[in-house]
Amino acid sequence: MRQIIKATLFTNEYPPNVYGGAGVHVEYLSRALARHIAVDVRCFGDQHVTDANPTVRGYPAWAEAKLGTDPRFAGAVDAFHRSLAMAKDRIDADVVHAHTWYTDMAALLASKLWHVPYVLSIHSLEPLRPWKIEQLGNAYHLSSWMERTALQQANAVIAVSAETRADVLRLFDIAPDRVHVIHNGIDPAEYRPSGKRDALTRLGIDPDRPYLLFVGRITRQKGIIHLVEAIPQIDPSLQIVLCAGAPDTPEIGREMAERVAAVRAVRADVRWIEEMLPRADVIQLYEHAAVFCCPSVYEPFGIINLEAMALETAVVASAVGGIPEVVVPGETGLLVDLALKPGTFEPADPVAFAHSLAEAINRLAADAELRTRMGKAGRQRVLDHFSWDAIAATTLDLYRSL
């Protein structure tokens, strides 16, 4: 086993710029690792922290990425530029560790320039997100190439679920012994019931009525459109709270707005919160929800389900990807089967999927005792299996083995 004194982490998202599960993962993993080793975080943004562990350095966007080209190319081209900048700056770490395709090339290039082993964490896979061509245009092929090239040369790959590991081995030319499963985690001391309800009133939610909650980005992957389609079938005793922002493209943003307007014509108690809320407010939303719904069509892990479970909220989720490794059906929530069109991530029968979501939500809405029992079991599962200290220890063992 090697001695590990320092690790450099590459990431797109890092506080205060966190909008998805990968950003949450890096935030908490870096803190947990810093209790054992020195950690250097390099991220997209203007962050600058030199007097703490972890140290943090942000890399600003490359203005020229948008000039003289298809504007959809900017995201991937900018990621390539920032990855090179991250890698060329002096590195004195024993290992480098990248998160998501945005910074995979930073790890590969750093390993060449500074002769250090590198690890990639797989939070999602580009071949399984074909809808991203809406967002990136043909630069989707560039993001896919960056991911594939870095992944197939990595010293080790961390998959956030067993299902994701199987996807990696199926889609890429990589030795099985280099692909390891280390789940996402959560801080149960932060994500715990407090009884506070002030955020609900401030956000226009009736604190005395039960509500269904969704939290996530507006993207094809998260299945938000299918949940909106299910709303007319959902028990009218439930308010509907959609904490959904950061649309992948203007097109899906408009589609979301049109669908929400249509269902509001049927029922008026649909609250759509489009802004990115402070974490404390989101924790209150989780805590007081009667049911949390995760209707994803592709989900390597689904950290949002952990967040809901930690706040003792029963979950209804699609039985896809790594979600069945988190949500125990009948114990911490209900799973909804989802058949996909061959070769796509579109439901084979969107109407039937929406109906199944509504049916599972209504079952929990009608049974407060079952919701309470599932909520208690969900928090206990989080405490037993998904602490960041345990995840950091396993990650350190992997670093040492390289």
Contacts of 382 (CB under 8 A, 6+ apart): 186, 188, 191, 306, 309, 310
pLDDT at position 77: 96
Same domain, 380 and 391: no
Same domain, 77 and 212: no
Is 28 within 8 Å of 187 (Cβ atoms)? yes
Same domain, 376 and 393: no
CATH number at residue 148: 3.40.50.2000
Question: Is 193 part of any domain?
Answer: no
Same domain, 281 and 307: yes
Structure tokens at 191: 């994500």
The structural domain count of the chain equals: 2
16: cis peptide before it, omega within 30°?
yes
Question: Is 321 part of any domain?
Answer: yes
Question: Is 28 part of any domain?
Answer: yes
Same domain, 42 and 177: yes
pLDDT at position 248: 86
Give CA–CA dist 352/130, Å, rounded: 23
DSSP 8-state code for residue 305: H
Question: Is 191 part of any domain?
Answer: no
Q: Is 276 exposed, middle or buried (0-12, 13-18, 19+ CB in 10 A)?
A: middle
Give CA–CA dist 8/2, Å, rounded: 16
Give CA–CA dist 274/269, Å, rounded: 16
Same domain, 251 and 205: yes
CA nearest 271: which of 178, 209, 347, 196? Answer: 209
Contacts of 294 (CB under 8 A, 6+ apart): 214, 216, 222, 223, 302, 304, 305, 308, 315, 316, 317, 318, 323
User: Greatest CA span in the chain, whole angstroms?
Assistant: 63
Structure tokens at 308: 């809901």
Same domain, 174 and 217: no
Query: Between helices 368-385 and 303-310, what is the axis angle to 10°?
Result: 110
pLDDT at position 132: 83
Same domain, 218 and 349: yes
Same domain, 72 and 212: no
Q: Are strands 211-217 and 179-181 parallel, antiparallel or unpaired?
A: unpaired
Same domain, 31 and 158: yes
Q: Which contiguous run of DSSP H or E holds residue 263?
A: helix 250-264
Give CA–CA dist 275/147, Å, rounded: 30
Give CA–CA dist 244/241, Å, rounded: 9
Which pTM value belongs to this model? 0.84
Name the residue with tokens 């922290």.
Answer: 49
Structure tokens at 59: 């890399």
Per the structure, the complete domain to which residue 32 belongs is given by: 6-185+387-401
Same domain, 117 and 49: yes
Question: Is 38 part of any domain?
Answer: yes
pLDDT at position 154: 98
pLDDT by residue, tens only, the chain of 402 residues: 788 899 999 999 999 998 888 999 999 999 999 999 999 999 999 999 999 999 999 999 999 999 999 999 999 999 999 999 999 999 999 999 999 999 999 999 999 999 999 999 999 999 988 878 888 899 999 999 999 999 999 999 999 999 999 999 999 999 999 999 999 999 999 999 999 999 999 999 999 999 999 999 999 989 999 999 999 999 999 999 999 998 888 999 999 999 999 999 999 999 999 998 999 999 999 999 999 999 999 998 989 999 999 999 999 999 999 999 999 999 999 999 999 888 777 899 999 999 999 999 999 999 999 999 999 999 999 998 998 988 999 999 999 999
Same domain, 343 and 393: no
SS3 assignment, position 144: helix
Contacts of 149 (CB under 8 A, 6+ apart): 104, 105, 108
How long a stretch of residues is the chain?
A: 402
Question: Is 190 part of any domain?
Answer: no
Question: Is 36 part of any domain?
Answer: yes
Question: Is 55 part of any domain?
Answer: yes
